[in-house]
A and B are shown apart, each in its own frame.
Chain A
């Protein structure tokens, strides 16, 4: 066997299995999302009729879809801002100061990230339980009298904030560790000379730390939006299943519901396509808006 053929065989043997699996379980399903969205495809009977863009036309008239759209946007805004702000603040503190228990915070904050979203849902349903929950009993202690019966997951006006808190809770630690890693790269000498010029820590944080890790913040922001769309679905599906009365229905939970409960795969996939396109458009816009000249250090 000649040398070249041997090398080709070797390369093929190494790469082919990965390409085959990737094509079979990722590329083909992705193409199928688009394809199925053009069909009226119902349930296990598997009757498919090509309907062109009918599903999309129905979608743009669907009030429930707009409801889920609104909820998703609200969640993205309400989750992103506190998560990124707190993660930056905590990372700034933990990487600038040396104090007791520093490592403890880093270890503890990362815990939610290693828990299954099912576990997080179960923990928060224990926290939010109206009669035996941790939160209501805590409020009861502060109010002194009988425990207040706030329906954290049952009240249409409150429930979305309950979900938001759970998602912020689970995300802060991950992003904090991430920012700490990039803050570690900022040279100490910059802070020293700023200190000599009389700048205080707050000024240093805004004038040195933030501008220097801006590229990293931009990337995480873009990814965070996409990840919030996914995680809000995974949590909502278990914790409220979109309820009460659609108050927490998000993009993908609506998609999943249409595809499975309603057995209209075509319609579900049309939602999927719109959400997919939307999430990338949003990420691109955020990326554009936050663009700045990268700073060297």
Chain B
């Protein structure tokens, strides 16, 4: 056997090994996710046998239980409200800011650009306690002076916190887009007598549409999946879906109610999975543009 042939075999073995590793990882992802879907339509008694047995029928009661008894339905409503409001707020605040920060030189513009860049390094896990204490103090102050408080246990405040903590990443992503557009567009608009606001809204925003969609996608996933801020700031009945799922996991340890748990799991996963299937190309492409997550 000559040397060339030898290295050829080595390369083939290597390829085989890598291919096996690829398949193994793919299986380790697809199988558990599919298993959860399968488990969500099983009756509770079916869980005590072989975990690989196929469901005997489609037991939709799990979903009804999860929706009503475990209140996942109302949690889902909360999640929809919080996510939608947070994204809306984020766009309203971040779009003009990133446009102006990328486009205009003004007193402090460099400082503010750096400030938002620095914000990329602040992780919410560190500041969730001070945010909670700040809102707690705020509530105390409001209660003493006005007899009512609304900061903690408020979905809109939660959305406000979500939007604020997403600002650095969003501004970074949008600014890096606005910087690439030639100035001619605005100059032409100004010559035609269009004001600053009108130019921004009717000329620049439509051009930024692909970036805006990327921002919406990433932040939808972030807000929908988030749990630590939500767990800390919503301490009463109204919860978001991921915190509800956590609660369901804990309840399941005490009273084995597997079907309900997996139905809840499907409710949390499904929207993100559907979204992913619809836009997976844009998401993975947007990532190389957006850089890194926290």
Contact partner, A200, options B7, B26, B227, B294, Cβ 8 Å: B7
Q: Take A24-B164, A123-B32 as given contacts and tell me if A137 and B52 are in contact as well, using a CB distance cutoff of 8 Å.
A: yes
Contact code string B76-104 (vs A, CB < 8 Å = 1, else 0): 00000000000000001110110111001
- Complex alpha-carbon distance, A276 and B163, angstroms: 23
Q: In the bound complex, do residue A219 and residue B168 qualify as a contact, i.e. CB atoms below 8 Å apart?
A: no
Whether A29 touches B130, Cβ cut-off 8 Å, given contacts A11-B106, A86-B21, A114-B272, is: yes
Q: Complex: how many Å from CA A156 to CA B7? A: 44
| B14 at the A interface (CB under 8 A) | yes
A122, B249: Cβ atoms closer than 8 Å: yes
CB distance from B148 to the nearest CB of A (A): 19
Query: Which of B61-69, B116-124, B180-188, B208-216 makes up part of the contact surface?
Result: B116-124
Q: Which A residues are CB-close (under 8 A) to B130?
A: 28-30, 32-33, 36, 269
Which of chain A's residues have a CB closer than 8 A to the CB of B146? none
The answer to whether A134 touches B35 (Cβ under 8 A) is yes
- Tell me how far the C-beta of B200 lies from the nearest C-beta in chain A, rounded to whole angstroms: 8
| Contact between A14 and B29, CB atoms less than 8 A apart | no
Q: A105-B22, A230-B294 are in contact. Are A202 and B101 (CB under 8 A)?
A: no
Which of A14, A118, A202, A238 has a CB less than 8 Å from the CB of B96? A14
| B interface residues, how many (CB within 8 angstroms) | 93
Which of B10, B100, B160 has the most chain A CB within a 10 Å cutoff?
A: B100
Chain A residue contacts of B172, Cβ below 8 A: none
Whether A172 is near chain B, meaning CB under 8 Å from some CB there, is yes
Does B179 touch A at the CB level, under 8 Å?
no
Report if B206 contacts A (CB, 8 A).
Answer: no
The winner among B36, B160, B224, B227 for most chain A CB atoms within 10 A is: B227
Chain A 251-295 per-residue mask, 1 if CB under 8 angstroms from chain B, else 0: 010011001100001001100100110001000000000000000
| B284–A172 touching, CB < 8 Å | no
Cβ contacts under 8 Å, B7 to chain A: 200
On whether the beta carbons of A137 and B36 are closer than 8 Å, the reply is no
Establish whether residues B293 and A177, one from each chain, have CB atoms under 8 Å apart when the complex forms. Answer: no
Chain B residue numbers with a CB within 8 Å of A28 are: 130, 134
- Tell me the nearest residue of chain A to B253, going by C-beta: A125
A252–chain B nearest beta-carbon distance, Å: 5
Q: How many residues of A contact B (CB 8 A)?
A: 87
Is the CB–CB distance between B126 and A272 below 8 Å?
Answer: yes
Kindly supply a per-residue 1/0 record for chain B positions 256-294, scoring 1 wherever the CB is within 8 Å of any chain A CB and 0 otherwise: 000001100100110011011000100111011000111
Please give me the residue from chain A that is nearest to B140 by CB atom: A46
Interface residues of B in 132-177 (CB under 8 A from A): 133-134, 136-137, 140, 160-161, 163-165, 167-168, 171
B interface footprint on A85-126 (CB within 8 Å = 1, 0 otherwise):
010011001000000000011111111101111110111011
Q: How far is the CA of A173 from the CA of B51 in the complex (A)?
A: 27
Q: Closest chain A residue to B293 by CB distance? A: A227
B246 neighbours in A (Cβ, 8 Å): 118, 238
Q: Which residues of chain A are within 8 angstroms of B137 by Cβ–Cβ distance?
A: 46
Is B39's beta carbon under 8 Å from chain A?
Answer: yes
Binary per-residue interface labels of chain A (121-140) against chain B in the complex, 1 for a CB within 8 Å, 0 otherwise: 11101110000111001000
Shortest beta-carbon distance from B152 to chain A in Å: 12
- Bitwise interface map of A from 59 to 96 toward B, beta carbon under 8 Å scored 1, else 0: 00000000000000000000000000010011001000
CA A121 to CA B265, docked complex, whole Å: 10
- Chain B residues near A118 (CB-CB < 8 A): 225, 227, 242-243, 245-246, 249, 268
Residue A220 at the chain B interface, CB threshold 8 Å: yes
Binds B, one of A15-23, A49-57, A207-215: A15-23
- A8 vs B100: C-alpha distance in the bound complex, in angstroms? 11
* Residue B115 lies at the interface, judged by CB distance under 8 Å to chain A: yes
**Contacting pair A93 B22 (CB below 8 A):** yes
Q: How far is the CA of A268 from the CA of B232 in the complex (A)?
A: 15
Chain B residues within 8 Å of A122, by CB:
36, 245, 249, 261, 265
Is there an interface contact between B127 and A116, defined as CB atoms closer than 8 Å? no
**Which of B11, B104, B130 is the most central at the interface, judged by chain A CB atoms within 10 Å of its CB?**
B130
Q: Does A169 contact B (CB under 8 A)?
A: yes
Docked CA distance A132–B106 (Å): 63
Cβ-defined contact, A126 with B134, below 8 A: no
Q: With the chains together, A123 CA to B39 CA distance in Å? A: 11
Residue of B whose beta carbon sits closest to that of A173: B29
For the complex, give the distance between the alpha carbons of A252 and B243 in Å.
19
With CB as the reference atom, state the residue of chain B lying closest to A125.
Answer: B249
In the complex, whether A7 has a CB less than 8 A from a CB of chain B is: yes
Q: B29 contacts which chain A residues (CB < 8 A)? A: 108-109, 111-112, 169, 173
The A-contacting residues of B in range 1-44, CB under 8 angstroms, are 7, 10-11, 14-15, 18-19, 21-22, 25-26, 28-33, 35-36, 39
Q: Footprint of A on B, CB under 8 Å? A: 7, 10-11, 14-15, 18-19, 21-22, 25-26, 28-33, 35-36, 39, 47-48, 50-52, 92-94, 96-97, 99-101, 104, 106, 112, 115-116, 119, 121-123, 125-127, 129-131, 133-134, 136-137, 140, 160-161, 163-165, 167-168, 171, 196-197, 200, 221, 224-228, 242-243, 245-246, 249, 261-262, 265, 268-269, 272-273, 275-276, 280, 283-285, 287-288, 292-294
Contact sample, A vs B, 10 pairs, CB 8 Å cutoff: A17-B92, A22-B115, A33-B130, A46-B137, A109-B25, A115-B225, A116-B226, A116-B227, A177-B284, A181-B287
Known A119-B269, A123-B33, A125-B249; 4 more pairs at CB < 8 Å: A18-B116, A21-B164, A118-B246, A122-B265
Kindly list the 9 A-B residue pairs having the minimum CB-CB distance in the complex, ordered from nearest. A181-B288, A116-B225, A18-B97, A14-B96, A25-B164, A29-B127, A32-B130, A29-B130, A21-B164
